Amino acid sequence: MIDIELIRNDRDAVKENIKKKFQDAKLPLVDEVYDLDRKFRDAKAEGDNLRSEKNKASGEIGNLMKEGKKEEAEEIKKRVQEYATRIEELETLEEELAGTIKEKMMVIPQIIDNSVPIGKDDSENVEIEKFGEPLVSAYEIPHHEDICESLGGIDKESAGRTSGNGFYYLIGDVARLHEAMIAYARDFMIDKGFTYCIPPFMIRSDVVTGVMSFAEMEAMMYKIEGEDLFLIGTSEHSMIGKFKGQLVKEDELPIAMTSYSPCFRKEVGSHGIEERGVYRVHQFEKQEMVVLCKPEEAMDWYDKMWSYTVEFFRSLDVPVRTLECCSGDLADLKVKSCDVEAWSPRQKKYFEVGSCSTLGDAQARRLGIRMKTADGNKFVATLNNTVVASPRGLIAVLENNYQEDGSILIPKALQPYMGGKEKIEKR
């Protein structure tokens, strides 16, 4: 949610930002909010003035009664009652206007950074840099589901019976490799100075609407029937929600945390959930990084955070690249975002394994997260980034470490988490 001062003082800039995101249908919202805000401020000013008049008149009544001027006192009492009635009407109007303004403001997208490339959708995202030499194998690399099956490591048929499409059982050394990546990611981030956290896996609706747009919520979140609770789609949700309504001391910033959680997603969209394998699923595990910082430090943290994901995958011998998200591919709360993509030697192309975003003060403004400074209370900036989400990370490791005999070489960084094992043999 943007600062309403932007609409009060520079509606053209807000409209231009909406155009850059190719959301022209939202343009009328800017003028609607501007007009509603004027009505709100007029009502508030009238109410404040009447409260002052009411207090002043109430003070006169006592003096008049002492002086025996009962008729004058009664006249003023009537006036005070009229003030009170009008004040009550204005307070109701203010409440209604504030609710409508907030509802419309929640839909207006955050102002994107000037460096964000302009484009309609993810097809116009821009490659920034490649890290590592993409492997072009002399032998065929099977589909990751076939690799897992040959290692006795996956059972989707049984998961279909218990849970339906989009679920899976990981078994044996494949399951162990999956968890090794998560454990290594945890320690990797702790070594970077991040505080480890395991958050709640369910959150209330006021936290959901504080961390994401309505469109994202509808497409992603699972609602717990009969309760005001949602299953998290990423631990970022509950990690940012941890600070809801809090006043953070300036010298406590930055707050850098790395969190583990299972993640649950509907995966609604044109791609569906029918594709083969475990690239797109309803349930997965993820190690995340979340930062709260001063707004002026956000871009420095953004660059550090995506570079940590690159470093993580390179330590697993997986070539990656970074892809700048264009304006039309940015979620409404994001200021700037990039994807980290891993090389698939089977498909001979890159695929997404992580995403890094700075959201400015959008989430902090929605959730009321401020820092206490010498100049007053200010909203903090929030950022999030994927360290690794598995099974996508697992797919990258399997394909890039697949051997001609069907075995998988375990990257050295993961061997301590696999009991020293160096290879997973084909069954």
Q: Could you count the other beta carbons within 10 Å of the beta carbon of residue 48?
A: 12
| pTM score over 0.85 | yes
Local confidence band at 276 (pLDDT 50, 70, 90 cut-offs): confident
The amino acid at residue 3 is D
Look at residue 168 and tell me whether its pLDDT is greater than 80.
yes
Name residue 379's amino acid.
F
Mean of all residue pLDDT scores within the chain: 93
Using 50, 70 and 90 to split pLDDT, how confident is the model at 153?
A: very high
Residue type for position 41: R
SS3 336: strand
Quick one: pLDDT band at residue 58, thresholds 50, 70, 90?
A: confident
Class of domain 4-105 (CATH, top level): mainly alpha
- The mean per-residue pLDDT over the stretch 150-162 comes to 95
Banded pLDDT at 26 (limits 50, 70, 90):
very high
Region 191-213: mean pLDDT is 95
Long-range CB pairs of 23-32 (<8 Å, 24+ gap) are 23/109, 26/107, 26/108, 26/109, 29/104, 29/107, 29/108, 30/108, 32/104
Position 76 scores a pLDDT of 80
User: For the sheet containing 202-203, what is the strand order?
Assistant: 202-203, 230-231, 222-223
CB-based contacts of 256, cutoff 8 Å, min separation 6: 192, 193, 194, 195, 289, 290, 291, 301
Task: Give residue 46's pLDDT.
Answer: 95
Burial of 132-170, coded b for 16+ CB within 10 Å and e otherwise, reads bebbeeeeebeebbebbbbbebbebeebeeeeeebbbeb
Question: Which residues are registered as beta bridge partners of 130?
Answer: 321
Task: State the pLDDT at residue 399.
Answer: 97
Q: In whole angstroms, give the CA distance from residue 24 to residue 363.
A: 23
pLDDT at 270: 41
**pLDDT at position 62, please?**
65
Closest alpha carbon to 230 in 254, 206, 261, 257? 206
Where is pLDDT greater, at 200 or 374? 200
pLDDT computed for residue 312 by the predictor: 98
Q: Hey, where are the domains in the chain?
A: 4-105, 122-424
Given pLDDT bands bounded at 50, 70 and 90, which one contains residue 124? very high
> CB-based contacts of 405: which residues, under 8 Å, 6+ apart?
426
Structure tokens at 387: 């360290």
Mean pLDDT score, 58-73 = 73
Q: For domain 122-424, give the fold.
A: BirA Bifunctional Protein; domain 2 (3.30.930)
Give the pLDDT mean for 391-419.
97
Share of the chain above pLDDT 70, in %: 97
pLDDT at 125 over 90: yes
Residue 54 above 90 pLDDT?
no
Cα angle, residue 356 at apex, residues 338 and 367 outer, rounded to 5°? 125
pLDDT digits (tens, 9 = 90+) for 74-101: 778 888 888 899 999 999 999 999 999 9
* Rounded alpha-carbon distances, angstroms, from residue 380 to 1, 358, 360, 369: 13, 11, 8, 6
pLDDT at 337: 98
More confident residue, 150 or 69: 150
